[in-house]
């Protein structure tokens, strides 16, 4: 069997033609329109028929015609006031994640439409109809309780239909932890409903859950008000009551609410220097964590309560007590780094060295892997180049579009359509499909299936998509695909070629801007802001390569019309000048300048006054209160490392603190990065 050795995906090939046809685009637009009408519960038969006609002309979307037939059938049943089933009629046999979401909207519309069948003469003897009725009641209680109240108020209170609905409401409210609409209380049969609920035994879990959670949230809000008004003594008392109340009523308070509220409570106490009280709360939230992210966040906050005060002995006690070195591979990169850092600072440096190496080997592309290199004497410029830039032999074998089966190939074509129409959320759904797809189920070429095992085919599939994105200059999809694939352990990070992941585009425009900024820094920001899409536009109206708001751009360049911001030359100059101004304002501090670019200078000034406890940059990054901004700063620093490395500049040759600093050359008033 021919074995595949593929270490790099840096393969040049002829650009694949963009296979988007006008018929597919028209069909896609109709699908979006129908999906929107599902959400608004305003579906018109004439529009459905027109949509079906156009969708049948599309080779990509023709399977949606069957779904529209179901909706047409529902509309006709409504006109005749005849029974239809939502549970039986809508089968979730979806083609891909985009189709799955469409069917979900269709299902919700069906349940909304089903309410029109509810009348005094509703057939309660038909079991299928009852199943649909219960689903419809729950759907309305969750999404439109006011509409539901108006519907049942029209029913005859003496008829069986109303009595049945009345008996079901309280059961569904309690079982699913819903907050009833105030007007709904008049239609709740408390006595019979609660009796039935007690008989089922569910009261042991659901009893008073809403009431207890509301009381917990009330205490939490009182705590936040006290902290905001600087009533510290009162805030401490409330934090103790909050923790005590949660401890005593764990079964009756929603876990996600409890975890989030207590983590925020701990953070606010920590910022007021009440470390021990904060530690007690963080320790408790570990037991409340409900997934990988929350568990690691609780662990980090517990360790950070000691580390940010340079109390590494306490941090090491927590590490030992919770056996975190034993469970090291299962932890997040952030927790791993600070465990290794604590050992390096005041512990066993040989163990720390081993842990830093594990961090780098596990995910060499992460921010924490980069700064880990600084604590390993053996890691330098040559070692990094060997890890990231070494050219290796490339296997000639590769997949083509025709090697995939028809449904998978159709999804690839569909991605191009959504990309053309700028429905990025739908592109993202398809990317997840592509990453998760098992090659043995989507590859149809028999020779490939016999010559390669599943792991080798995964590599070939990965390589195919990298070439596909590169040939179409679709850097955003490429970045997302790589990131998701690594996070989901669907591909080894050793297969990633840095030059593909960190392309050097628009260097002509960066040089022409003549702002004196390091080109690598500008490239790093552009990659993060727009993924080199000069037509990018955010929800809030930021435009172009460096995602500038119009009013910001007008301070630095002439902007006659908003579309001017899509011009690379003008956008790069304005963005670079704005970044330069922020760097000057914050004395070259990269953390503060980038934080300001993302969240605004006013917020950063507030953080400097109330939150930041040190000028050590790796500590400051962790203290940024906004998750998005925290990640933003880390990713741009990571980008800067890799762009510098491609130009034979090793960022970490300097002291770590200096790599987060921009200096000003007073003779020519230009700024330059301290990297040699």
- Spatial separation of the C-alpha atoms in residues 70 and 90, rounded to whole Å: 8
> Is 322 within 8 Å of 295 (Cβ atoms)?
no
Question: Residue 350 is encoded by which pair of tokens?
Answer: 């040989």
- Spatial separation of the C-alpha atoms in residues 332 and 202, rounded to whole Å: 36
DSSP code of residue 323: T
Question: Residue 619 is encoded by which pair of tokens?
Answer: 């500590």
CB-side neighbour CA atoms (13 Å) of 486: 17
- Spatial separation of the C-alpha atoms in residues 394 and 8, rounded to whole Å: 6
Nearest partner of 466 among 453, 477, 455, judged by Cα: 477
> Is 588 within 8 Å of 611 (Cβ atoms)?
no
Nearest partner of 180 among 137, 221, 218, judged by Cα: 137
Helix (H, G, I), strand (E, B) or coil at 664: strand
- The sign of the torsion formed by the CA atoms of 164, 166, 167, 168 equals positive
CA angle at 656 for the pair 651 and 661, rounded to the nearest 5°? 80
Could you tell me how far CA 179 lies from the centroid of its own chain? 28
Nearest partner of 358 among 373, 347, 344, 348, judged by Cα: 373
Nearest partner of 393 among 1, 5, 2, 13, judged by Cα: 5
Residue 673: beta bridge partners? Answer: 662
Nearest partner of 341 among 379, 378, 303, 367, judged by Cα: 303
Using the structure block, give the residue that is written with the tokens 């500049």: 649
- Answer yes or no: 447 catalytic: no
Give the CA distances from residue 221 to residues 225, 229, 241, in Å, rounded to whole numbers and listed in that order.
Answer: 6, 12, 12
- Spatial separation of the C-alpha atoms in residues 105 and 92, rounded to whole Å: 12
Give the burial string for 369-401 (b: 16+ CB within 10 Å, else e): bbbbbbbbeebeeeebeebbeeeeebbebbbee
- Spatial separation of the C-alpha atoms in residues 526 and 544, rounded to whole Å: 9
- Spatial separation of the C-alpha atoms in residues 375 and 340, rounded to whole Å: 10
- Spatial separation of the C-alpha atoms in residues 598 and 629, rounded to whole Å: 6
**First CA to last CA distance, the chain:** 48
- Spatial separation of the C-alpha atoms in residues 612 and 607, rounded to whole Å: 6
- Spatial separation of the C-alpha atoms in residues 294 and 155, rounded to whole Å: 46
- Spatial separation of the C-alpha atoms in residues 368 and 619, rounded to whole Å: 13
Choosing from 509, 529, 567, 649, the catalytic residue is 529
Using the structure block, give the residue that is written with the tokens 């949509």: 51
Question: Residue 11 is encoded by which pair of tokens?
Answer: 């393969």
Other C-beta atoms closer than 10 Å to the C-beta of 80 total 8
- Spatial separation of the C-alpha atoms in residues 85 and 13, rounded to whole Å: 52
> Is 409 within 8 Å of 401 (Cβ atoms)?
yes
Residues that are catalytic: 529
């Amino acid at each position: 069997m021919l074995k595949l050795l593929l270490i790099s995906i840096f393969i040049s090939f002829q650009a694949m033609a963009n296979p988007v046809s006008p018929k597919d685009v028209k069909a896609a637009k109709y699908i979006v329109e129908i999906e929107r009408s599902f959400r608004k519960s305003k579906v018109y038969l004439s529009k459905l028929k027109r949509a079906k006609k156009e969708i049948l002309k599309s080779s990509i979307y023709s399977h949606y015609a069957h779904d529209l037939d179901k909706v047409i059938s529902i509309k006709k049943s409504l006109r005749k006031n005849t029974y239809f089933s939502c549970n039986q009629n809508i089968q979730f046999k979806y083609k891909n994640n985009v189709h799955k979401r469409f069917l979900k909207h269709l299902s919700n519309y069906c349940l909304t439409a089903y309410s029109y069948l509810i009348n005094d003469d509703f057939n309660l003897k038909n079991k299928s109809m009852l199943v649909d009725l219960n689903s419809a009641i729950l759907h309305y209680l969750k999404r439109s309780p006011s509409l539901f109240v108006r519907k049942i108020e029209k029913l005859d209170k003496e008829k069986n239909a109303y009595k049945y609905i009345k008996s079901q409401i309280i059961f569904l409210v309690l079982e699913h932890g819903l907050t009833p609409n105030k007007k709904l209380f008049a239609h709740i049969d408390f006595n019979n409903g609660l009796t039935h609920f007690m008989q089922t035994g569910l009261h042991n879990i659901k009893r008073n859950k809403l009431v207890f959670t509301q009381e917990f949230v009330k205490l939490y809000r009182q705590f936040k008000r006290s902290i905001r008004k600087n009533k510290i003594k009162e805030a401490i008392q409330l934090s103790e009551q909050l923790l005590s109340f949660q401890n005593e009523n764990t079964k009756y308070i929603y876990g996600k609410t409890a975890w989030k509220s207590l983590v925020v409570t701990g953070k606010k106490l920590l910022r007021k220097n009440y470390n021990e009280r904060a530690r007690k709360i963080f320790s408790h939230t570990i037991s409340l964590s409900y997934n990988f992210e929350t568990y690691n966040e609780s662990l980090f906050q517990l360790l950070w309560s000691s580390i940010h005060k340079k109390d590494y002995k306490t941090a090491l006690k927590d590490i030992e007590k919770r056996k975190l070195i034993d469970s090291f591979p299962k932890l997040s990169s952030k927790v791993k780094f600070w465990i290794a850092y604590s050992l390096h600072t005041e512990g066993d440096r040989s163990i720390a060295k081993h842990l830093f190496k594990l961090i780098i080997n596990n995910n060499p592309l992460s921010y924490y892997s980069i700064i880990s290199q600084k604590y390993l004497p053996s890691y330098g410029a040559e070692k990094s180049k060997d890890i990231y830039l070494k050219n290796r032999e490339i296997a000639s074998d590769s997949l083509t579009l025709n090697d995939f089966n028809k449904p998978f190939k159709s999804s690839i074509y569909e991605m191009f359509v959504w990309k053309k129409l700028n429905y990025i959320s739908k592109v993202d759904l398809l990317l997840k499909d592509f990453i998760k797809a098992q090659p043995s189920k989507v590859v149809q070429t028999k020779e490939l299936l016999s010559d390669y095992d599943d792991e080798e085919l995964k590599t070939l599939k990965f390589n195919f998509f990298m070439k596909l994105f590169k040939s179409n200059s679709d850097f955003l999809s490429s970045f997302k695909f790589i990131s998701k694939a690594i996070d989901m352990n669907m591909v080894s990070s050793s297969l990633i070629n840095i030059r593909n992941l960190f392309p050097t585009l628009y260097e002509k425009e960066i040089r022409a801007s003549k702002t004196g900024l390091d080109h690598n820094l500008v490239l790093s920001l552009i990659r993060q802001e727009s993924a080199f899409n000069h037509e990018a536009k955010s929800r809030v109206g930021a435009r172009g390569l460096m995602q500038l708001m119009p009013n910001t751009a007008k301070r630095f360049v002439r902007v006659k019309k908003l579309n001017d911001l899509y011009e690379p030359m003008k956008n790069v100059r304005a963005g670079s000048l704005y970044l330069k101004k922020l760097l000057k304002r914050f004395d070259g501090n990269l953390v503060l300048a980038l934080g300001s670019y993302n969240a605004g200078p006013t917020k950063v000034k507030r953080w400097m006054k109330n939150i930041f406890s040190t000028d050590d940059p790796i500590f400051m990054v962790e203290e940024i209160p906004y998750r998005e901004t925290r990640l933003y700063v880390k990713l741009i620093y990571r980008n800067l490392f890799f762009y510098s490395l491609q130009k034979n500049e090793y960022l970490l040759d300097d002291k770590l603190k200096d790599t987060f600093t921009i200096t000003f050359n007073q003779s020519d008033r230009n700024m330059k990065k301290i990297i040699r």
